[in-house]
Amino acid sequence: MTAVLPDRAERVAAAPAAEHRGPGGFAWIGLCAALIAGAPIGALGILALQGNAAHWLHLATAVVPYALHETAVLLGGVTVFVVVVGTGTAWLVTAYAFPGRRMLEVALLLPLAFPAYVMAYAWIDLMHPIGPLQSGLRALLGIERPAELRLPDLRSLPGAVLVFGLALYPYVYVAARAAFLARMTTLTEAARTLGAGPGRVFGRVALPLAWPAIAAGTSLVLMETLNDVGAAEFLGVTTLTTTVYSTWVNRSDLAGAAQIALAMLAIVLALVLAERTARGARSFAVGGGAQRALPPRRVDGIAGLGLLALGALVVALGFGLPTGHLAWQAALRLAEGHGGATLLPAIGNTLLVAVLATVAAVLTGLVLVEGRRLHPGSRLHAAVLRVATSGYAVPGTVLAVGLLVVLGGFDRAARAVVEFAGGAPTGLLVSASIGAVVLAYVVRFVRLAATQVETGLERIPPTLDQSARSLGRTPAGVMSAIHLPLLRASLAGAALLVFVDCMKELPATLLLRPLNFDTLATLLYGEAARGTYEDGAIAALLIVAIGLVPVAVLVRLGRPPATLEARP
Amino acid sequence: MTKVWYRLTAIVLATGALSAHGIAAEVNVYTTREPGLFAPLAADFTARTGIKVNTVFVKDGLAERVAAEGAGSPADLLMTVDIGNLVELVDKGVTRPVTSPALAAAVPAHLRAADGAWYALSLRARLVWADKSLGLTSVSYDDLADPKWKGKVCIRSGQHPYNVALVAAMIAHVGEAKTEEWLTGLKANLAKKPGGGDRDVARDILGGLCQIGVGNSYYVGLMRSGKGGAEQKTWGEEVAVVLPTFTGGGTHVNASGAALAKHAPNAAEAEKLLEYLLSPEGQKIYAEQNFEYPVRADAAVDPIIAALGKLTPDTLPLAEIAKHRKAASLLVDKVGFDR
């Protein structure tokens, strides 16, 4: 024991010296990621400068006040919806044991697989005055004419809140569930010992501890909502993004669209910063103590079935009904001999780009977040993290155009070099390649991975890092020996979110892909774009089915976390 | 597992091979036309000529993509579904003219650029759909703003390209000030906020949400043919369809069309494809697949569309309408059409 002390002291003295060797691996990788993610945004900046400001008068008077209002109401409504539903369902499956809980745990993730616009189409089909639900209701009540029984129209702001909420609450559910499962056992048990009922435990212990995770999940939902064009237009909601879109597409004013998009990006970044500042230095990490699963409270009988029904209702609305409708449409089309030939290669392509992008995005996100965690106070690491993950806040179509400009510029430069050297003119190297699509996904979705890792790390006490560093571990050593085992569930969650979003991604896929390269999402969208989305029902179901695989893996990996093995 | 790797390798190699152009008897098509509609035409063309057709469906940003790819672009033929986008390609300088007596003979002068920079391939008309009980037999676009329809009209977003083109055509006819009045009147007549797609207009009329609405001709074909299922056949058959006209003009049509890419590596094949698309055989597939009006005078219209009545297309040149697209989009915002 005595022999250890001087040794340890030596290492403590040696550790700070290592910091002076200049940027390490974390910083270099972070810088590269920031450069790659920053390039298309930079290109947008250049595009924006080429436009004039004349259209701002039009926007300020005719568009922005209204679009801002609709956007704010939509985002506000969706926030309330996803926080309540996402957190509530996560608490339901982690705090209580009731019949069917394990199934519900998985099922609650399923709406993730739905592109929001498909959810919108399916719900409009179901809820339309001459759709099955209202027709059935009229038949039941003996009413003949649709005009005599009028349910509220889903094509409205409240309808959009419902559709986006149902499609996106899993982002909060994933985050909150991981938070509830991890590291609050001791506090919860203490609260219980002191006589707190489930309500008090939830309100006074679990919720405050999970709050950073819930906030992070919600910010992802808000950016997804803000990014959407298809569902918003279909539901008759004018958001800032649909404004960008009509400026570009209908007025051929890409510069103007880039200006609005960058203004939006600035607003989003300001909000993110404000949230960070508000959260401040509050540390939610719980120090010490063994980590065990929180034993859920057993609820049997009618009450247990009641809890199951509550969760099942959310699954039914967010997944069961729209999927049932799609399955019915798909069955009709299969019976007519639709589908087939184009689907198989599309499945291969979808898996290829989604898997590549998921691996790349999760690794990049991990390195970025760990870089900041392991170099506390380093402005460089904080900055590269922020820049490298900003792609998620730019509307997908606009980001894709920025990337197009960058890749095209690269290809033109390469071509010029080859020709200068006397070589034959080449085609495209990076534009219109699978690599371009994967790159776009990573730039766009690395934020999803980073957020999951961040909320996971927040629950690992920094004292562990400090002890390890003082014992001579390098930053990479701390990451691999301490963080990675504890981050298993967070990494699995990150991979799931990125994978599923890659499968659904449209604007970048449509704009950057090579010839003859279809994914399930582009096949589905091809039909939706001509107004026959139900002809894409088979592709939509396949997206959902493939999404099930990582969901199952996640739930397995996400079960109560591994304990740190005590080293002899 | 090895099979998967073979597949991955094959995909990667195939992509590499495609980007290194110059393989004989191929043509690369960048299109905003939905793949399901173009595939039958491509298959028939390949069967006839042996020329392989490679396609990529690009929804928005076609012009930006071709411009960014520059001289290395593999694009040969650029196809759009909206005349505005087609003219934009030409304006951006990513096309080059094709002059061919066969093409000039196939397409009427107002449906192509004078210098051969672009050609319309098919047309669709913006029609009025109505509750059958109204017994509506004729209507003008101006009538849509008549206060007698207050609270009875359904339409999709004013910023949808179909509607932007209609408003642009109105501007071309009566000028911006009068169009603004008309659009304000139409807005005042709406039964609900604009939204949904064209087929929703038919559904909404059947659901009693509104009495008349605006929709494209080919959706009538899609619905009435039963291609979208029995349910949609009912939607299509239960609404009355009227061909409206501008006062002193014809029915508003929009065109899908094509242009040859400036750096087309397979220009000869692209011209062949263009000629095929405008041949009686190609035009027939257009009419059958998507219930559009062919541009060739001697090609037959699908019987379902023919039954709607005789189409008298507006005689204003499409290029003229396309010029007013931006003003139309601004006007839609200005009157708060989508609010």
Does residue B151 fall inside a structural domain? Answer: yes
Give the integer Cα–Cα distance in Å for A424 and A298.
73
Q: Which residue of A has its CA nearest to B87?
A: A252
List the structure tokens of B305. Answer: 């569309």
Determine, for residues A431 and B68 on separate chains, whether the beta-carbon distance falls below 8 Å.
yes
- Amino acid sitting at position A307: L
**Quick one: B266 and B287 in the same domain?**
yes
Q: What phi and psi, each to the nearest 5 degrees, are found at residue B79?
A: -120, 135
Q: Identify all chain A residues contacting B290, using CB atoms and an 8 Å cutoff.
A: 530
Give the DSSP H/E element, type plus range, for residue A26.
helix A25-50
**Quick one: B50 and B118 in the same domain?**
yes
Least confident of A76-90, A344-358, B195-209: B195-209
**Quick one: B247 and B323 in the same domain?**
yes
Determine, for residues B157 and A415 on separate chains, whether the beta-carbon distance falls below 8 Å.
no
Please give the residue that has the higher pLDDT: either A184 or B233: B233
Would the pLDDT of B8 be above 60? Answer: no
Would the pLDDT of A212 be above 70? Answer: yes
**Among A130, A525, A527, beta carbon nearest to B206:** A130
What are the residues whose beta carbons fall under 8 Å from the beta carbon of A436, sequence distance 6 or more?
A: A403, A407, A430, A512, A513
Question: How many C-beta atoms lie closer than 10 Å to residue A288's C-beta?
Answer: 8
Q: Which residue of A has its CA nearest to B68?
A: A408
**Quick one: B291 and B323 in the same domain?**
no
Domain with B218 in it? 124-252+313-335
Determine, for residues A428 and B197 on separate chains, whether the beta-carbon distance falls below 8 Å.
no
Q: How confident is the model at residue A183 (pLDDT cuts 50, 70, 90)?
A: low
The DSSP string of A367-413 is: HHHHHHHHSTT-HHHHHHHHHHTGGGGS-HHHHHHHHHHHHHHHHHH
- Provide the H-helix boundaries in A421-529: 434-458, 462-470, 475-478, 484-486, 488-504, 507-512, 520-529
Determine, for residues B208 and A129 on separate chains, whether the beta-carbon distance falls below 8 Å.
yes
pLDDT in tens, A397-454: 888 989 999 999 999 999 888 888 888 777 888 889 999 999 999 999 999 999 999 9
Give the integer Cα–Cα distance in Å for B164 and A234.
16
Q: Which of B204, B220, B238, B41 is nearest to B125 (CA)?
A: B220
**Among B14, B59, B71, beta carbon nearest to A529:** B59
What integer pLDDT is reported at residue B241 of this predicted model? 96
Least confident of A524-533, B8-17, B291-300: B8-17
**Among B12, B209, B328, beta carbon nearest to A434:** B12
List the structure tokens of A535. Answer: 């002809």
**Quick one: B199 and B327 in the same domain?**
yes
pLDDT in tens, A457-500: 888 888 889 899 899 888 889 998 899 998 888 898 899 999 99
User: How many contacts, defined by CB atoms under 8 Å, are there between A and B?
Assistant: 204
What CATH code is carried by the domain that includes residue B240?
Answer: 3.40.190.10
Does residue B8 fall inside a structural domain? Answer: no
**Quick one: B135 and B222 in the same domain?**
yes
Does residue B326 fall inside a structural domain? Answer: yes
Q: How confident is the model at residue A286 (pLDDT cuts 50, 70, 90)?
A: low
Give the integer Cα–Cα distance in Å for A101 and B197.
40
Determine, for residues A63 and B333 on separate chains, whether the beta-carbon distance falls below 8 Å.
yes
Determine, for residues A130 and B11 on separate chains, whether the beta-carbon distance falls below 8 Å.
no
| B219 known ligand binder | yes
**Quick one: B48 and B75 in the same domain?**
yes
**Quick one: B136 and B248 in the same domain?**
yes
What integer pLDDT is reported at residue A204 of this predicted model? 83
Does residue B11 fall inside a structural domain? Answer: no
Give the integer Cα–Cα distance in Å for A520 and A432.
18
Q: What is the mean pLDDT of residues B274-297?
A: 93
pLDDT in tens, B35-79: 888 999 999 999 999 999 999 999 889 999 999 999 999 999 999
Between CA A111 and CA A119, with CA A115 as vertex, the angle to 5 degrees is 70
Give the integer Cα–Cα distance in Å for A114 and A120.
10
Does residue B163 fall inside a structural domain? Answer: yes
Sign, CA torsion A190/A192/A194/A198: positive
Q: Identify all chain B residues contacting A129, using CB atoms and an 8 Å cutoff.
A: 203-204, 206-209
- Provide the H-helix boundaries in A132-253: 132-141, 157-181, 185-193, 198-200, 207-227, 230-234, 240-249
pLDDT in tens, A84-117: 999 999 999 988 999 999 899 989 998 988 889 8
Determine, for residues A427 and B20 on separate chains, whether the beta-carbon distance falls below 8 Å.
yes
Mean pLDDT across chain A: 85
Interface test with B, best of A50, A130, A133 (most B CBs within 10 A): A130
Q: Identify all chain B residues contacting A344, using CB atoms and an 8 Å cutoff.
A: none
What integer pLDDT is reported at residue A20 of this predicted model? 44
Sign, CA torsion A212/A217/A222/A227: positive
**Among A129, A233, A235, beta carbon nearest to B207:** A129
**Quick one: B68 and B186 in the same domain?**
no
Q: Identify all chain B residues contacting A415, using CB atoms and an 8 Å cutoff.
A: 70-72
Determine, for residues A246 and B59 on separate chains, whether the beta-carbon distance falls below 8 Å.
no
The answer to whether the CB of A520 falls within 8 A of the CB of A347 is yes
Does residue B71 fall inside a structural domain? Answer: yes
Would the pLDDT of A21 be above 70? Answer: no
Angle formed by the axes of helices B280-290 and B267-277, to 10°?
60
Least confident of A158-162, A452-456, A562-566, B211-215: A562-566
What integer pLDDT is reported at residue A87 of this predicted model? 96
What are the residues whose beta carbons fall under 8 Å from the beta carbon of A385, sequence distance 6 or more?
A: A30, A368, A369, A371, A372, A450
Would the pLDDT of A265 be above 90? Answer: no
Q: What is the mean pLDDT of residues A279-297?
A: 57
CA atoms within 13 A on the CB side of B334: 18
Q: Identify all chain B residues contacting A238, using CB atoms and an 8 Å cutoff.
A: 338-339
- Residue A345, exposed/middle/buried by CB under 10 A (0-12, 13-18, 19+)? middle
Q: Identify all chain B residues contacting A236, using CB atoms and an 8 Å cutoff.
A: 157, 192-196, 338
**Among B195, B198, B333, beta carbon nearest to A62:** B333
Does residue B195 fall inside a structural domain? Answer: yes
Count of domains observed in chain B: 2
**Quick one: B211 and B222 in the same domain?**
yes
**Among A128, A134, A397, beta carbon nearest to B60:** A397
Q: Which of A466, A448, A286 is nearest to A376 (CA)?
A: A466
Q: What phi and psi, each to the nearest 5 degrees, are found at residue B183?
A: -65, -35
Q: Which of B139, B169, B196, B185 is nearest to B254 (CA)?
A: B169
Give the integer Cα–Cα distance in Å for A441 and A391.
9
Q: Which of B173, B158, B217, B175 is nearest to B314 (CA)?
A: B173
pLDDT in tens, B309-338: 999 999 888 989 999 999 999 999 999 999
Determine, for residues B68 and A523 on separate chains, whether the beta-carbon distance falls below 8 Å.
no
Q: Residue with structure tokens 């257009």?
A: B286
Q: Quote the minimal CA–CA distance from A373 to chain B in Å.
A: 37
**Quick one: B104 and B219 in the same domain?**
no
**Quick one: B324 and B189 in the same domain?**
yes
Determine, for residues A408 and B68 on separate chains, whether the beta-carbon distance falls below 8 Å.
yes
Determine, for residues A516 and B56 on separate chains, whether the beta-carbon distance falls below 8 Å.
yes
Does residue B273 fall inside a structural domain? Answer: yes
Give the DSSP H/E element, type plus range, for residue B48.
helix B35-49
Q: Which residue of A has its CA nearest to B28?
A: A515
Q: Identify all chain A residues contacting B28, using CB atoms and an 8 Å cutoff.
A: 515
Q: Identify all chain A residues contacting B157, using CB atoms and an 8 Å cutoff.
A: 233, 236
Determine, for residues B326 and A250 on separate chains, whether the beta-carbon distance falls below 8 Å.
yes
What integer pLDDT is reported at residue A428 of this predicted model? 86
Q: Identify all chain B residues contacting A65, using CB atoms and an 8 Å cutoff.
A: none
